[in-house]
Homo-oligomer: A and B are copies of this chain.
Amino acid sequence: MALTSDEMNYLVYRYLLENGFTHAAFALGHESRVDGAKVAEGDEKIPPGALIAFTQKGLQYCEIEANLNDDGTDVDADFSILSAKD
C-alpha cells in the first residue's frame, strides 16, 4: 500500500494547521490544491497528530531495522534522525 501525493500533502496540511502554522497551511492549501471538499470529509477520518504518529512509528521501525545485526540480535547504539549512522 502506497501513499498518494494527495494523501501526503493532506497529512502535511493537517500537521501545519494543527500546529498553528497558519501562513504555511494557507500557502500549501493553494499550492497543492488540497481539495476543499475532500478535506472536509477527511477531517472526520484522520485523527489529530496523524503525520507525527506515522513518522514516529516509521522512525522506530527504521531504528529497529538499523539496530538488528545479521544474526537478528539487537545492537546497542543510539539512532538519530539528524545524524543517522548506525
Judge whether A31 and B21 touch: CB under 8 Å.
yes
Contacts of A16 in B (CB 8 A): 12, 24, 28
- Residue from B24, B30, B51, B57 in contact with A57 in the complex, judged by beta carbons closer than 8 Å: B57
The number of chain A residues touching the other chain, given as a range, is 35 or more
Judge whether A56 and B26 touch: CB under 8 Å.
no
Judge whether A59 and B56 touch: CB under 8 Å.
no
Residue interface mask A37-61, B partner, CB < 8 A = 1:
0000110011000111111111111
Extra pairs beyond A23-B28, A45-B84 (19, CB < 8 Å): A1-B59, A1-B60, A3-B55, A3-B81, A7-B81, A8-B52, A10-B82, A12-B16, A16-B28, A23-B23, A24-B31, A24-B32, A41-B82, A45-B83, A53-B58, A54-B62, A56-B58, A58-B58, A58-B59
